[in-house]
Structure 1
């Protein structure tokens, strides 16, 4: 019976879009905007002796096309990214159709942003922060999200049928070819519910205090059983003209119904075409601070200095914990954004180690590794 009700949710969402009589739009012509970016990247990594010997590498990062359109309260938002083959190639980051029910309420349907934690980014740097690498920052799934937003309160109620699905086979493993991290392989994320509440104590919205929660299923292809997963978070954000502070505490637990003999202490997550293992039970604590310095010269409009820290505490005592810290500066020259980062990691898959196991068991005798990175993007 519950499955029948769940299957009706997208239909009810469409009904609420096209049946609302309370909001009238006078727009006669559709508005369409096309934009994008091309980015290049230089990096020098402490754990790559060959790269260090040649002074680092500089090359292509990504080509981005985004589009937004609006007509009589109905709007479209989409972004497609084309990375190199080594980073998964091309994929849709997000793509949704929305409807403005009135000035405070809207509904979004499609590959939409999952309402969890500080959005869109729980970070200031190019690398993002630890929640991203376990699917809890800048995440997009297939579903519907209801948003209410006024001067003092904002809340979301979302239902996501599944993460990105490409093959639609009965027993097809989930592909890691995607932008945001999801459970992949023999388990599939299904029927996820999200809620998020934000309180803005001051009318200028400089402070935001929030709480987020999500709960959903994990369907296993081999056992044909559905486990579950949940995550909760408390978050705070301060934003003024020149200062930004972001803090969040997150708890997550995944309970896969894997086949006998397969560990239930880890799950496979993937993005950019490559999967890795993640601990199934953990907490993450993050704190980031940034200071903006306006210059407004012909060459540089402003600088933003930042430091973002993340700590992942894995509940299984045999697992080694993970740390991440990124110190850097964003240089804005109009349409050109340049991130100069020094990113350090301990048991971090993208910052040293063996990649596959760092967010799971890790290594008790791991050492800190670092990557000096410059990302240059021209946005149009």
Structure 2
């Protein structure tokens, strides 16, 4: 039954007047007042794909990518961070990318509650380009889940410990599948991610901590809606990041396995992942290796202040021998002009669902007759 609002109804104008009176006469000291910042971005995208004959004949397509709104609020040591994104309906429509309430215990420690980034691998991104690296498409880069996370950032060590009850849960039925309308990739279909624990440790060394050597681990359940049994999944990652001068290097190796409790006769060699409104199959067990490098070049070209050139490579080694491995490589440049950021990328993929494959099972069994396909892409984003 819907709970009725018993408060007297006020007009929007009356609410504004009441708010102004309250803040004008409030005895709260200035340093104790809540701080609120609102930002966002608007992005447009051009792409030309090697596997789309019709698109090549018309010279590519240019259109709307995404609009987002960011909120940051704080009061004393309690704060809020949230980002809501609005894509086209074909790519999932609107959804919360991230959103958590935090408490800063001291200068080094804090706790986050809500939809937060999963501490696994290189963060915030394991890549430099607009497409991310191959890790993103397996739910292993810039992934966000629902839970609680503790963070410690010291001079020599950083570590994070987290418990995630589940991934972004949008529907709460007893046998309802997880929706693929989300930003980061998670297990969808007849299996649900539940009760996941994560741990991550980083050792920083060198002048100004230019070297970041780390290890990450995660373990969680996979609840099957048909059998009502819980399987498991786990992963471990070794990662290294180095900043020196204008260069940046990211190197990572991951081992990941999923063990779903499917119905008898259903394959356990694959499972479904989903984001942006589309599900696809991936191999249940695999290794992923990635290497990404970039270099900044400051310039003075009208409003352009910096050019960041990069190359990001990813390789997915599937454990089942008859499955074809997947590859991804992106070469490009990020152009910075004030608040306008433009990614110009040449993204190539082999057995890659978003780069020329059949989309359904490129990351699973793949196609032995697949060819390398490529997409030339320009993304224009104004961030405010």
Whether these two folds match at TM > 0.5 is yes
Give the corresponding residue for 2:18. Answer: none
Partner of 1:350: 354
What is the aligned partner in structure 2 of residue 204 from structure 1? 208
CA RMSD of aligned residues (A): 1.1
Q: Residue 249 of structure 2 aligns with which residue? A: 245
1:173 correspondence with 2:156 = no
Q: What secondary structure, in the 3-state scheme, does the structure 2 residue paired with 1:131 have?
A: helix
Query: Aligned match of 2:78 in 62, 74, 80?
Result: 74
Residue 121 of structure 2 corresponds to residue 117 of structure 1: yes
User: Would you say 1:158 and 2:175 are equivalent positions?
Assistant: no
Report the Cα distance in structure 2 between the residues aligned to 1:168 and 1:299, rounded to whole angstroms: 49
Shift of 1:243: 0.7
Query: Would the aligned equivalents of 1:80 and 1:91 in 2 still touch at CA under 8 Å?
Result: yes
| Kept after mapping to 2: 8 A contact 1:311/1:323 | yes
How far, CA to CA, are the matches of 1:323 and 1:354 in structure 2? 15
Tell whether 2:193 aligns with 1:186.
no
1:49 aligns with 2:49: no
1:311 lines up with 2:322 in the alignment:
no
Of residues 101, 104, 113 in structure 1, which corresponds to 2:108? Answer: 104
- Partner of 1:220 in structure 2? 224
| 1:253 and 1:281 in contact (8 A); partners too | yes
TM-score of the pair, normalised by structure 2: 0.91
User: What residue in structure 2 maps to residue 129 of structure 1?
Assistant: 133
Any idea what SS the aligned residue of 1:99 has?
strand
For 1:263-302, list aligned pairs within 5 A: 263-302=267-306
Q: Matches of 2:120 and 2:301 in 1, distance apart?
A: 38
- For the residue of structure 1 that corresponds to 2:158, the secondary structure is strand
8 Å Cα contact 1:152-1:203 kept in structure 2: no
Q: Tell me how far apart the structure 1 counterparts of residues 160 and 89 of structure 2 sit (CA, whole Å).
A: 36
Alpha-carbon distance between aligned partners in 1 of 2:302 and 2:105, rounded to the nearest angstrom: 42
* Displacement of 1:300: 0.3
CA distance in 2, matches of 1:161, 1:243: 38
**What's the counterpart of residue 343 of structure 2?**
339
Instruction: State the distance in 1 between where 2:103 and 2:57 align.
Output: 54
2:265 & 2:68 partners in 1: Cα distance?
A: 43
- Structure 2 distance, partners of 1:362, 1:27, is 58
Residue 151 of structure 1 contacts residue 203 of structure 1 at CA under 8 Å; is this kept in 2?
A: no
Q: CA deviation at 1:203?
A: 4.7
Structure with greater Cα Rg: 2
* Pairwise CA distance, 1:145: 0.6
Moved more, 171-180 or 201-210: 201-210
Instruction: Encode CA deviations 1:292-346: one digit per residue, 9 max, x unaligned.
Output: 0001443201000000000000000010000000000000001000000000000
Deviations 1:194-234 (A, max 9, x none): 00000001251211000000000000000000000001000
What is the CA–CA distance in structure 2 between the aligned matches of 1:247 and 1:341, rounded to whole Å? 20
Instruction: Name the structure 2 match of 1:261.
Output: 265
Q: Spell out structure 1 runs of 4+ moving beyond 4 A.
A: none
CA distance in 1, matches of 2:262, 2:50: 37
Q: Distance in 2 between matches of 1:350 and 1:240?
A: 33
Distance 1:300 1:257 in 2: 54
Describe the SS at the equivalent of 1:301: strand
Could you list the runs of 5+ residues in structure 2 that have no partner in the other structure? 1-29
1:239 CA drift (Å)? 1.8
Cross-structure match for 1:17:
none
TM-score, normalised by the number of residues in structure 1? 0.92
- 1:180 aligns to what SS in structure 2? coil
Match of 2:44 among 20, 40, 43: 40
Q: Indicate the residue corresponding to 2:142 in structure 1.
A: 138
Aligned residue pairs: how many? Answer: 356
Cα displacement string for residues 152-183 of structure 1 (whole angstroms, at most 9, x for unaligned residues): 10000000000011111111111101000000
- Aligned partner of 2:369 among 365, 369, 373: 365
The answer (yes or no) to whether the contact 1:152–1:202 under 8 Å persists in 2 is no
Q: Distance in 2 between the 1:258 and 1:95 partners?
A: 32
Pairwise CA distance, 1:150 = 1.0
* Unpaired stretches in structure 1, ≥5 consecutive residues: 1-25
